[in-house]
A and B are shown apart, each in its own frame.
Chain A
């Protein structure tokens, strides 16, 4: 009898597997804490970018033209330093590489600024050796850094993703798909696949590692997403799309399938008002809640 019971349980195990994997599926979107101010109590103003590691959070405090660094603790986020410099007048996107260097996209000057881990200016990202597609102009709308510190730049002027090595030397480029709307952001997963988010059509495109072109990953998702402006991924195979106009985060599978919608439009903690960017590390999600002038931490 016990053998029969054991066999029955073994046969039923696959039925439980999906829910088990869902349970460990990253962020559960419980609000933990919100960042409203710098160390001196000055409020954040329209933050549009966040970058994070296990211990560090960097916020692009766009409305105040500065970056803010925080130390991430178990149940708190503590202010560490402010980075404000003439070379970075309007930070809208921010990233941290494995060496702790900070990269920030200046939306006004349309260049990527490199800072060392102490927050000192270390020059602009030169994008050396990039072939001119439609002229010398490059307009970076966003960028991301992968695990090997390669830099992926979303160049909307020439309609391409430029891949650079950590020093900023050109490696390759992937052209945007021809029939598409407007790309606001990109992300790179742990396998090296690149994903683009099309804001106008609420669609995700992907290019596998070393692929020469983007292919549609999802169908038009306007049914679920109002106006997506940011995309990121975790190490568990989930894509997180920031729905700016819908005040939500949309979870997609790596096959582009819709999984769920989190948060919602509002002012109270746990709700979002025109979220602009999102960063995930472990089970923490940091969301630049732009029109609420704060960064919320979810877990």
Chain B
């Protein structure tokens, strides 16, 4: 079939008209009468007038654009939302997330914006449900309690978390910090000031990590130092470990690895080295600093963080398995790794703190002393002539996907590992 030229022009005109009609339809999505915007909604949603009296009202609400977020007829999402709540806010507020965030606030990344913001109107700026600090403290309770209780406060914390943190995501630093440390701290603290230099024994601090010694959320220790302070540091005997401030390499330590700490902690290190099995990182290039903070810490023993976090830096798999496990060993879950292990060295494999696994478990599980499946030196493991039955023959100490921390998915399967005659 061939097109006749006299048909082409009317055909194109028809296409143009149809196209124009659909464009018009797209503009007025719900074919509302002129002037009949969101005000129509108030006919039923009369409580809304109170919301509109708030000092901060969401722009689409202010402009009566209820259909910006809601579908007035039907929707696949709760509250007649026009899209998944995770996607609806970022239609307009996409810029709250930088293109390449270094850290993101999970609640924001998950799209749970209404956990912090009222989508219609609120008493607080940015439509926040509560004032900044109070709102944050609802989830970060432990930190908020600590901030309230400490003797020495950090002024920006009292003024609000958003002084240092971006509540949605940070393009520059971890922990939602607006900038990396020390750049963030140096916005307020001038390292050139005489008082600053005096407090820091004239060491050049402009490129050091302030939060290694100072608790930015406040402290019971003067100078916002973490609560546990290493004695030489507290007494400002920096030259016990560092070259002096006038040295060409002023912050350089005087010896490497564990050799630096040996000067004072000789007995502890010597004792560790007499054991058959070492925790090898103790002797590597970072030595004690793999786990301890040499200046100050909020953890016992100057640990560089909560124990599970410190151990988990290297034992990533152990922590990951623990998190995924259905049955977890409470001491492991609570991060008290040293309930069973010696951190520096031991004569036992896995750096256990007692010669026998049975004794380690027996510290808490005393039932085994009066009623138990045969265990110990006399109970040979039928699976392997060189093994005897211990708690670990059936249980995995950190936790497993099975109940009661069993190695096998079911108790039957676990038992018939050895008692093969009962297999079905």
- Cβ of A81: which chain B residues have Cβ within 8 Å of it? none
Task: Tell me whether B278 is interfacial, beta carbon within 8 Å.
Answer: yes
Asked if A44 and B280 make an inter-chain contact with CB atoms under 8 angstroms apart, the answer reads no
Asked if B314 and A181 make an inter-chain contact with CB atoms under 8 angstroms apart, the answer reads yes
Among candidates A37, A159, A222, residue contacting B285 with C-beta atoms closer than 8 Å: A159
Interchain CA distance A141-B284 in the complex, whole Å? 9
Asked if B381 and A267 make an inter-chain contact with CB atoms under 8 angstroms apart, the answer reads yes
236-266 of chain A: CB within 8 A of chain B: 245-246, 265
Q: Which residue of B lies closest to A47 (CB)?
A: B386
A251 to chain B, nearest CB (A): 19
Asked if B381 and A156 make an inter-chain contact with CB atoms under 8 angstroms apart, the answer reads no
Asked if B285 and A110 make an inter-chain contact with CB atoms under 8 angstroms apart, the answer reads no
244-263 of chain B: CB within 8 A of chain A: 255-257, 259
Which of B29-37, B194-202, B315-323 lies at the interface with chain A?
A: B315-323
Q: Which residue of B lies closest to A36 (CB)?
A: B386
Interchain CA distance A246-B386 in the complex, whole Å? 21
Q: Which residue of A lies closest to B284 (CB)?
A: A156
- Cβ of B255: which chain A residues have Cβ within 8 Å of it? 134-135
Task: Count B interface residues, CB 8 Å.
Answer: 34
B40 to chain A, nearest CB (A): 55
Among candidates B257, B276, B317, residue contacting A222 with C-beta atoms closer than 8 Å: B317
Asked if B285 and A267 make an inter-chain contact with CB atoms under 8 angstroms apart, the answer reads no
- Cβ of A292: which chain B residues have Cβ within 8 Å of it? 384, 386-387
130-184 of chain A: CB within 8 A of chain B: 133-135, 137, 139, 141, 156-159, 176, 181-182, 184
A184 to chain B, nearest CB (A): 7
- Cβ of A90: which chain B residues have Cβ within 8 Å of it? 276
A175 to chain B, nearest CB (A): 10
A59 to chain B, nearest CB (A): 13
Interchain CA distance A133-B350 in the complex, whole Å? 31
Q: Most chain-A Cβ atoms within 10 A of its Cβ — which of B280, B283, B384?
A: B384
Task: Tell me whether A103 is interfacial, beta carbon within 8 Å.
Answer: no
Among candidates A37, A46, A137, residue contacting B349 with C-beta atoms closer than 8 Å: A46
Q: Most chain-B Cβ atoms within 10 A of its Cβ — which of A135, A139, A245?
A: A139
A261 to chain B, nearest CB (A): 14
367-417 of chain B: CB within 8 A of chain A: 381, 383-387, 393, 407, 417
Asked if B384 and A293 make an inter-chain contact with CB atoms under 8 angstroms apart, the answer reads yes
Among candidates A62, A135, A157, A293, residue contacting B283 with C-beta atoms closer than 8 Å: A157
Interchain CA distance A134-B255 in the complex, whole Å? 7
Assuming the contacts A134-B257, A182-B314, A199-B314, asked whether A157 and B284 have C-beta atoms less than 8 A apart, the reply is: yes
Interchain CA distance A296-B384 in the complex, whole Å? 12
Task: Tell me whether A216 is interfacial, beta carbon within 8 Å.
Answer: no
Task: Tell me whether B281 is interfacial, beta carbon within 8 Å.
Answer: yes
Task: Tell me whether B313 is interfacial, beta carbon within 8 Å.
Answer: yes
Task: Tell me whether B130 is interfacial, beta carbon within 8 Å.
Answer: no
- Cβ of A294: which chain B residues have Cβ within 8 Å of it? 384, 386
Q: Which residue of A lies closest to B398 (CB)?
A: A245
Asked if B386 and A184 make an inter-chain contact with CB atoms under 8 angstroms apart, the answer reads no
Task: Tell me whether A107 is interfacial, beta carbon within 8 Å.
Answer: yes
Task: Tell me whether B277 is interfacial, beta carbon within 8 Å.
Answer: yes
Asked if A141 and B280 make an inter-chain contact with CB atoms under 8 angstroms apart, the answer reads yes
Assuming the contacts A293-B387, A294-B386, asked whether A158 and B256 have C-beta atoms less than 8 A apart, the reply is: yes
Interchain CA distance A133-B255 in the complex, whole Å? 11
Q: Which residue of B lies closest to A142 (CB)?
A: B280
Asked if A184 and B280 make an inter-chain contact with CB atoms under 8 angstroms apart, the answer reads yes
Interchain CA distance A296-B317 in the complex, whole Å? 25
- Cβ of A205: which chain B residues have Cβ within 8 Å of it? none
Asked if A157 and B314 make an inter-chain contact with CB atoms under 8 angstroms apart, the answer reads no
A31 to chain B, nearest CB (A): 13
Additional 5 contacts, C-beta under 8 A, given A36-B385, A139-B284, A227-B318: A181-B314, A182-B280, A182-B281, A227-B317, A267-B381
Q: Which residues of B contact A (CB under 8 A)?
A: 255-257, 259, 273-278, 280-281, 283-285, 313-318, 320-321, 349-350, 381, 383-387, 393, 407, 417
- Interface pairs A-B: 8 shortest CB-CB: A134-B256, A293-B386, A226-B317, A200-B314, A267-B383, A156-B284, A159-B285, A139-B283
